Each structure stands twice: as C-alpha cells, then as structure tokens.
Amino acid sequence: MAYPSQLGLQDASSPIMEELMNFHDHTLMIVFLISSLVLYIITLMLTTKLTHTSTMDAQEVETIWTILPAVILILIALPSLRILYMMDEINNPALTVKTMGHQWYWSYEYTDYENLCFDSYMVPTSDLKPGELRLLEVDNRVVLPMELPIRMLISSEDVLHSWAVPSLGVKTDAIPGRLNQATISSNRPGLFYGQCSEICGSNHSFMPIVLEVVPLKNFEDWSLSMI
Ligand SMILES: [Cu+2]
C-alpha cells in the first residue's frame, strides 16, 4: 500500500505492474526531454534578438520537426501496445474469482468451488483495532494463492464501480450487465489494498478491496475451511 504523502506509484507486486512502472518511467523521460527542449527554446526566443526575420521557409528544419514528433509518438505507442496485449492475455488461469460491485460493498464468488462466496464490507473507523488502516480494512478479505495466474471476473449489480489494486496493476470497471476480465498474479505473499475507482455514489470512498495473498497450501486450507 501507499505510505503517507507518497509521490509516485506503489511498489510493484506483479510482473504486469513492473512493466507498467517501466513504461511510466520511459514515457516520463520523454516528457522531461520535450519539456526541457521547449523551455530552452522559449528562453532563447525571449532573451536573444530575433534574426532572420525575412526568412520565409526552411525546408530542412521543417522536415525534421514534422518527422521527429511522429517518431517520438511511435516510441511511446509500441511499448504501450505491448503491455496492453500482455494484460489482455488469459494465461491459463489457475483460479477464477468473480467480483460484483454493489452500493457500497464488493461481493466475491469463487466459481471453481460449490459454495464459496461472501460479501466484503469496510470496517468502520470506530471498530478498527490498533494498527489497522482507516477506510482500507474489510471484514472479509479476498484470499488468493501467490505466484499463480488468477482470472478476475468483474461486474456490477447496480451502478458503475471499478475494481482496482494499484500494486498488482489492475483497474477494471465493474459495469452492470457486462462481465469484464482481468488476470492478476502476485510475486509475493502479503496484503494488497485497493479501492473502488469509479465515483459510484455517496459511499464510494467506503468500499475498499483487500487481497490476502498466501502460499498455495494456506489457500487450500482456507478454501476448505470456508466451504
Ligand atoms: Cu463503487
């Protein structure tokens, strides 16, 4: 999760998030280079006496400043498309979890099991135990096995919601009447926090997501204890 007054992204816990962070840095570097060049040209124009005022055209420089932005756009678009297709890949999931957005809580259904489903409500501030995080803890966590591709099916029962866990690099809209799909996999065990990321009504801020990612053995024990 994010630490207080954090700037930038949360630590990556999945291969996809690592790719996204690399892409973020790559794009930001291009933005820095363009901004400094533009700033340099602006100061140059403001501080020097303009010369060549009678020049009507300059074919060479115009060719360069037409083609160069196109090349830069391609350098951004290609890695972006690569990650887009990687995120779309289903990768033979080991487990499927369906989540439905409600006003204002999430419900989860482990569709590989006969009867494993529950609602996940936020723990109100007055009920928090010492050390627990305000507005982020839930009463029933989503337990998932680590290092396995998991297919999340995301939809909604009422209005638009969005199921998002920043450290795993997922943010998928929950749309009534439509089933969206995302693949998640975590490199390590731990608690991963997320929040609804679509303004969905008065308690939009109070429907967090908590994933408890554990080794496979512990997941099996948990799922057997839940059935
Ligand atoms: Cu919502």
Question: pLDDT by residue (tens digit) across 21-38?
Answer: 999 999 999 999 999 999
Q: Going by C-beta distance under 8 Å and a sequence separation of 6 or more, which residues neighbour residue 167?
A: 1, 10, 11, 12, 13, 14, 17, 192
Element (H, E) at 195: strand 190-196
81 alpha carbon to ligand 1 midpoint, in Å?
Answer: 28
96 alpha carbon to ligand 1 midpoint, in Å?
Answer: 21
119 alpha carbon to ligand 1 midpoint, in Å?
Answer: 14
| CA 33/CA 36 separation, integer angstroms | 5
Q: Going by C-beta distance under 8 Å and a sequence separation of 6 or more, which residues neighbour residue 192?
A: 1, 13, 165, 167, 168, 186, 210, 211, 213
Q: Going by C-beta distance under 8 Å and a sequence separation of 6 or more, which residues neighbour residue 135?
A: 122, 125, 195, 205, 206, 208
Q: Of 183, 168, 173, 163, whose CA–CA distance to 105 is shortest?
A: 163
pLDDT-above-70 percentage for the chain: 100
Q: How many CB atoms lie within 10 A of CB 65?
A: 10
Domain 93-224 has CATH 3.30.350.10: no
194 alpha carbon to ligand 1 midpoint, in Å?
Answer: 11
Is it the case that residue 175 has pLDDT exceeding 80? Answer: yes
Residue 204 binned pLDDT confidence (cut-offs 50, 70, 90): very high
Q: What is the CA radius of gyration of the chain?
A: 24
72 alpha carbon to ligand 1 midpoint, in Å?
Answer: 37
Distances (CA, A) of 50 to 36, 46, 59: 21, 9, 20
- For residue range 6-65, list pLDDT tens digits in order: 999 999 999 999 999 999 999 999 999 999 999 999 999 899 887 777 777 889 999 999
201 alpha carbon to ligand 1 midpoint, in Å?
Answer: 7
Determine the pLDDT at residue 53. Answer: 73
Is it the case that residue 227 has pLDDT exceeding 90? Answer: no
Determine the pLDDT at residue 182. Answer: 94
| CA 108/CA 1 separation, integer angstroms | 21
219 alpha carbon to ligand 1 midpoint, in Å?
Answer: 27
107 alpha carbon to ligand 1 midpoint, in Å?
Answer: 12
Q: Beta strands 142-145 and 117-120: pairing type?
A: unpaired
Q: What is the mean pLDDT of residues 97-109?
A: 95
62 alpha carbon to ligand 1 midpoint, in Å?
Answer: 49
191 alpha carbon to ligand 1 midpoint, in Å?
Answer: 20
Angle value at C-alpha 16, between 14 and 19, nearest 5 degrees: 115
Residue 89 binned pLDDT confidence (cut-offs 50, 70, 90): confident
93 alpha carbon to ligand 1 midpoint, in Å?
Answer: 26
> What size, in residues, is the chain?
227
211 alpha carbon to ligand 1 midpoint, in Å?
Answer: 17
- Locate the domains of the chain by residue range: 13-86, 93-224
CATH number of 13-86: 1.10.287.90
Note whether 161 and 198 are within 8 A (CB).
yes
105 alpha carbon to ligand 1 midpoint, in Å?
Answer: 7
164 alpha carbon to ligand 1 midpoint, in Å?
Answer: 10
- pTM here? 0.86
